[in-house]
Chain A
Amino acid sequence: DADVTQTPRNRITKTGKRIMLECSQTKGHDRMYWYRQDPGLGLRLIYYSFDVKDINKGEISDGYSVSRQAQAKFSLSLESAIPNQTALYFCATSVGQEYGYTFGSGTRLTVV
């Protein structure tokens, strides 16, 4: 099994729908992150969490919310999806930046 599992892998949804992207990790790390990747813009931070009771906004949190259900689970929700949220979404976990982030395989989301 992968260290970081994201579901679904691909999703097409309609404008205005609520959608949840799920992430689980088996690394036993406390820190988890959600990033969005658009072509030519690299990875942009949406939300991050250092433990179950800690949630922090990132660079582009508007239109998104998160839930840290357990140490191993961190889900991202789009409350009312819009077409410019079409992107590749990555979840990651780490014990610290010096040891690197472990990323999931990504969720490709298309909002039509």
Chain B
Amino acid sequence: GQSLEQPSEVTAVEGAIVQINCTYQTSGFYGLSWYQQHDGGAPTFLSYNALDGLEETGRFSSFLSRSDSYGYLLLQELQMKDSASYFCAVPLRGALTFGSGTRLQVQP
């Protein structure tokens, strides 16, 4: 089996940097993904890490440490539109299993 742990809620101010952590327990490891979901919307794919290190895509970066079974999503220069839920996910037998999500509130 597998499980993913991430904080339920994070609050930050506009323009700041925020880090959303995810720890996972899996019987095998095949990559860590991140998704964003705005209220009432569909989840959208943000990033995928298969190897250790930092992957940067614009204001968003994702980090993975396989030895620590840990990853994080880093959001820089926060904007109000970044207020959303963020999910980490790992595959189990070919289909993604999602964490419970971290709700990010960006304040002015």
The size of the chain B interface, using a CB distance under 8 A, is: 24
Given the known interface contacts A41-B100, A43-B87, the answer about A103 and B95 at a Cβ–Cβ threshold of 8 Å is no
Query: Are the CB atoms of B44 and A103 closer together than 8 Å?
Result: yes
Question: A20-77: which have CB < 8 Å to B?
Answer: 31, 33, 35, 40-45, 48, 50, 56, 58-59
Given the known interface contacts A97-B31, A98-B48, the answer about A42 and B42 at a Cβ–Cβ threshold of 8 Å is no
Query: Are the CB atoms of B48 and A58 closer together than 8 Å?
Result: no
Query: Are the CB atoms of A101 and B43 closer together than 8 Å?
Result: yes
A residues neighboring B (CB under 8 Å): 31, 33, 35, 40-45, 48, 50, 56, 58-59, 90, 97-106
Count A-B pairs with CB separation below 8 Å.
57
B residues neighboring A (CB under 8 Å): 8, 30-31, 33, 35, 41-45, 48, 50, 87, 89, 91, 93-101
User: What is the CA–CA distance of A38 and B30 in the complex, to the nearest angstrom?
Assistant: 26
Please list the 8 inter-chain residue pairs (A to B) with the smallest Cβ-Cβ separation, ordered nearest first.
Answer: A100-B45, A103-B42, A43-B98, A42-B100, A48-B95, A42-B98, A98-B48, A42-B101
Q: Which of B42, B87, B95, B97 contacts A56 (CB 8 A)?
A: B95
Shortest Cβ distance from A103 into B: residue: B42
Name the A residues within 8 Å of B33 (CB-CB).
97, 100
Given the known interface contacts A42-B87, A43-B87, A90-B43, the answer about A101 and B31 at a Cβ–Cβ threshold of 8 Å is no
